[in-house]
Amino acid sequence: MRPSEIAALRAADCRLPEEGWGELILAGSRPEVGSGGTDDGESYEQRGLKRRARRATRPVPIPPVLTAMLREHIEAYGTAEDGRLFRAAKGGRVRSTEYCELWDAAREKALSEAEAATPLADVPYSLRHAGVSLWINSGVDPVEVARRAGHSLTVLFRFYAKILRGQQSLANQLIEKGLSGDT
């Protein structure tokens, strides 16, 4: 998910079964734009999904571990008055400065000093890139990866083509399997 999609995520958008895969029905975003950039003086805007019709939705399957984490989060913290899962202490939007400070602290704790000195996972958006990269490297069809990420295939291949390099051996194995009729 994009950070603005996470900010807009509501409990009603989540299908969180007790076991197995869940699903998020992404329906909007709340990008942080600064109070000078909005008509109502808020620091964010309510928008539809990026590059989609205003009321379009995007269903995204989520693995059992994330399903369980979201269930636990809702149980422990509840939701904002409008149903959003993630909110600041007084119910407002979690500001990017707040989650970036937490991200920096988590990075220092999780990474070695040498790793922390590199651009590795330097911003929270790195999680999105890591997720999309994992799907690609796991062999998920690029059309499905693009759909889940909310990308076009053109965007997916433009930004993630480097991940596909060096997989000639795997490609050869798949082609041999196809040629032998073992599909």
Residue range 106-134, pLDDT digits in tens: 999 999 999 999 999 998 888 888 889 99
Going by pLDDT thresholds of 50, 70 and 90, the confidence category of residue 9 is confident
Residue 4 has pLDDT above 80, yes or no: no
φ/ψ bin of 95: left (φ > 0), alpha (ψ from -120 to 50), beta (otherwise): beta
Token output for 43: 């620091």
Report the distance separating Cα 136 and Cα 5, nearest Å. 21
φ/ψ bin of 8: left (φ > 0), alpha (ψ from -120 to 50), beta (otherwise): alpha
Residue 37 has pLDDT above 60, yes or no: no
Residue 38 has pLDDT above 70, yes or no: no
Q: Which of 128, 113, 183 is nearest to 160 (CA)?
A: 128
DSSP-assigned letters across all residues of 117-154 = TSSTT-STTHHHHHHHHHHHHTT--HHHHHHHHT--HH
Report the distance separating Cα 132 and Cα 142, nearest Å. 10
Percent share of the chain, pLDDT over 90: 33
pLDDT at 75: 96
Between 177 and 43, name the one with better pLDDT.
177
Phi, psi of 24 (to 5 degrees): -110, 135
Token output for 83: 């149903």
What's the pLDDT tens digit per position in 142-156? Answer: 999 998 888 889 989
Q: Which of 32, 7, 21 is nearest to 148 (CA)?
A: 21
Query: Residue 26: helix, strand or coil by DSSP?
Result: strand
Q: Provide the mean pLDDT of the chain.
A: 82
pLDDT at 128: 83
Residue extents of the structural domains in the chain: 1-92, 94-120, 125-183
pLDDT at 171: 78
Residue 35 has pLDDT above 60, yes or no: no
What's the pLDDT tens digit per position in 43-83? Answer: 555 665 555 556 667 888 999 999 999 999 999 999 998 89
Q: 138: part of which helix (H) or strand (E)?
A: none
Query: Residue 15: helix, strand or coil by DSSP?
Result: strand
